[in-house]
Structure 1
């Protein structure tokens, strides 16, 4: 990447064009409606976007940017031609690359913003590379794979003065704003306990790495797909989705759903970094007598407990449950009423009452649910036009306006601490299975698991566990050469 080609911080293509027009003479400035009639958007008012990872969720992301009417999808980049096919058909004029580094190096003068929707392990290097060039970035959830990466991206967004947004679109939903208004009005009192749960994973976890390698599909650049991760031979079934269950690439159920489900209580309660974390995890049996130990793979289920500073003297305890584990059904909920949205949900327990919601903070309810229609509190938080779907246009418009001129729902200053909290939970899960081999007095081999049955104390400022050093290996991983942050 050419460091000397970096644009000034916060610069935009629109500013460049505007300056050029002034230099050319005032007669060049023509009112927008004269050029194209009412509603016409001049090219200089469109955000020129490069998409990195344009299949699956990336495909829908760039389509939503385009649907805003204010974005031009000018560049596409994907390591897998099969996954890129739909986006390439939709945007036939967009130039196509396989290597995001080549895209940034050759084309950075020709676009304003980058959308990143790759597997988790490559989010940070791509986003950082774009921000260093003064590009606005939209990054799919979770923001990063590692705690260290999340902190660095948060700092970089401020340093380079770029507009950022994480792809947890529920942050733009009406539901979380309604819940904040209920909470601010004192309807449920002081919250000391929160439960969040999901039916994920819906992909294999808690299993050994496949023993047999397979031929790499001709359309896939496997080395580029691996990116920052250690080299391994290609195996069937990993791409395009099941990578989520492997620590080298994914972040498990927490990474997949946590940014959607934990965001409502984070926003409502104003949470930041946890003070401590503890967990228990489910496991699989390799036979009827022996429990499996597969540290490369996320566990099939987990229950994580984190403590946060509350607004009052008491801490707020947040429970995360996945793999089908659910909290006890609230007694205020009728026997036939849906808890959360069935498979997922968040429950906030206050001193005066309770409230819950589903994924993306949809269908917020006070408990008992009859209260929901009985109460009427003033609207104090502005709604995002289009709600969940408006999450994309909100970022596009903010990027066009320039850094600091328009609000977004999940800028890195908010998404960073949220992501770090999820990854601290994952740190506890990974620490739970740290295995130490010992020999007893009889010369027999025994295994100990020192990360179990302890509460890990978290030093947020220094990003480290203070009472279990072995767990700190998961704060920041080593990248495969030549990748760096």
Structure 2
């Protein structure tokens, strides 16, 4: 690997990520790959043998991204829907094709070095766990998992099985988040106390009832395999391949889709851990005049979640991170001119001495007012990942070739796990707004809509509203297991 690439790799722990000024000053030890050895090591003459599980949609670009970095052969493809997999099958005609990941791993494990997991959220964890238990390196699409428990288990498993891991939040390898860190470390905005993250998602149906009736299953789709760990449901139109995101049985809503891109910058810049408390309000759905729709299977059309984080060395006391989706946006900063773009998706940091903003993936970072940027001369102190988003894939392939612990990545599970837990804790509060209680007279109340939920990280539970703890670890459908 070229020396400039190895010197640009980010560090391999969440807290270590923000200390890269020291790393940059100290430099990196350059070790030729052929002397690295260790578990998962491949000789330089060998090529990474990749299995793409979930070969269509985002999986198609994940597989292509890793191959683009070089020294990777797509040896196997796996998808439950032949329609979705068609382009990848065409692009990699030598790859052997499977529909069931269990059969793939059972028959071909000795021929696989690494896997990509790009399925709907509800099947991420069990596929990744099965691969890691076979000591295969894993690249998994965001969000890491569907449930908090799954995120914790995958984080622990990556260390236990000593495999290279990376979550597909490509902005983690971008220059933008590193520039935000450099500004913050240089004291440009003082100590942050409040952050706003907002998105125009969902761009798929939410806040609706599950359709009635039964639709014929397309012949190319194995519906039972698609359901996987989720409860039994009849197939419905317009769910596959995209709109599953708005249903709790399968997806994680706007937070799962965009949170890994938008919450990640404050998570890293401020050295945040999982929150200590969460509260929220959601957009109402109306069916008929003045009648609120009650659709607990579906994510709400919009939400505003407030996450409280404990003080870190980087913050002024506790930090409030506001998540807003469905088109809800924070108040426009007074430092931003009336014709200067605020954006439909973004992050706003508010510190004791100033503010800074960025867009999705941490792109286009700017100090406020914007006039500050033309005169900014803050030194570049944090190593960059060559190729940025493309490099997110390339460095995974490089790390898998080198073996566990040899190359530091931007979003290994030890970083991606706590970030994913944070987003799913926010989803606990959202789901809590639909928890119903009935009194002796049959009157219905929704206590979760007026509550600040307190999070116990060690025990993975909300301590003051037990009703939502059922969502921390869901029940898998019979015949499916996380394998721990």
Do they fold alike, i.e. is TM over 0.5? yes
The alignment partner of 1:271 has SS state of coil
- Higher RCO structure (Cα 8 Å, ≥6 apart): 2
Aligned to 1:283: 284
Does 1:476 find its partner at 2:473?
yes
Residues 150-161 of structure 1 aligned to structure 2 (within 5 Å): 150-161=151-162
**Alpha-carbon distance between aligned partners in 1 of 2:222 and 2:113, rounded to the nearest angstrom:** 26
Does 1:329 find its partner at 2:332?
yes
> What is the total number of aligned residue pairs between the two structures?
444
Does 1:460 find its partner at 2:420?
no
1:370 deviates by 1.2
Aligned to 2:23: none
**Alpha-carbon distance between aligned partners in 1 of 2:400 and 2:271, rounded to the nearest angstrom:** 25
Aligned to 2:429: 428
Change over 3 Å in CA distance of 1:13–1:180 after alignment to 2 = closer
Change over 3 Å in CA distance of 1:268–1:68 after alignment to 2 = same
Cα offsets for 1:311-360 (capped at 9, x unmatched) = 25610000000000000000000111111xx2100000000000000001
The alignment partner of 1:215 has SS state of coil
Change over 3 Å in CA distance of 1:319–1:80 after alignment to 2 = same
Is this contact kept in 2: 1:304–1:425, CA < 8 A? yes
The alignment partner of 1:248 has SS state of coil
The alignment partner of 2:138 has SS state of strand
Is this contact kept in 2: 1:358–1:364, CA < 8 A? yes
Cα offsets for 1:401-449 (capped at 9, x unmatched) = 1111101000000000000000000000001110113342xxxx31111
Aligned to 1:115: 116
Is this contact kept in 2: 1:139–1:166, CA < 8 A? yes
Is this contact kept in 2: 1:13–1:111, CA < 8 A? no
Under a length normalisation based on structure 1, what TM-score does the superposition of the two structures give? Answer: 0.90
Does 1:294 find its partner at 2:322?
no
Is this contact kept in 2: 1:213–1:236, CA < 8 A? no
**Alpha-carbon distance between aligned partners in 2 of 1:300 and 1:171, rounded to the nearest angstrom:** 28
Aligned to 2:67: 66
**Alpha-carbon distance between aligned partners in 2 of 1:438 and 1:208, rounded to the nearest angstrom:** 25
Does 1:134 find its partner at 2:135?
yes
The alignment partner of 1:356 has SS state of strand
Under a length normalisation based on structure 2, what TM-score does the superposition of the two structures give? Answer: 0.90
Aligned to 1:11: 39
Residues 36-435 of structure 1 aligned to structure 2 (within 5 Å): 42=45, 44=46, 46-311=47-312, 312=315, 314-339=317-342, 342-435=343-436
**Alpha-carbon distance between aligned partners in 1 of 2:168 and 2:152, rounded to the nearest angstrom:** 17
Is this contact kept in 1: 2:57–2:84, CA < 8 A? yes
The alignment partner of 2:416 has SS state of helix
The alignment partner of 2:336 has SS state of coil
Is this contact kept in 1: 2:193–2:316, CA < 8 A? no
Q: Give the 4+ runs in structure 1 shifted more than 6 A.
A: none
Is this contact kept in 2: 1:280–1:304, CA < 8 A? yes
1:13 deviates by 6.3
Is this contact kept in 1: 2:40–2:402, CA < 8 A? no
Is this contact kept in 2: 1:13–1:112, CA < 8 A? no
1:212 deviates by 1.4
Greater mean alpha carbon deviation, residues 304-313 or residues 227-236: 304-313
Name which one, 1 or 2, has greater alpha-carbon Rg.
1
Change over 3 Å in CA distance of 1:313–1:63 after alignment to 2 = closer
**Alpha-carbon distance between aligned partners in 2 of 1:467 and 1:12, rounded to the nearest angstrom:** 44
Cα offsets for 1:230-273 (capped at 9, x unmatched) = 00100011000000000000000000000001111111001111
1:70 deviates by 2.0
**Alpha-carbon distance between aligned partners in 2 of 1:89 and 1:324, rounded to the nearest angstrom:** 38
Root mean square deviation of aligned Cα? 1.2
Is this contact kept in 2: 1:192–1:310, CA < 8 A? no
**Alpha-carbon distance between aligned partners in 2 of 1:303 and 1:455, rounded to the nearest angstrom:** 13
1:379 deviates by 1.4
1:310 deviates by 2.2
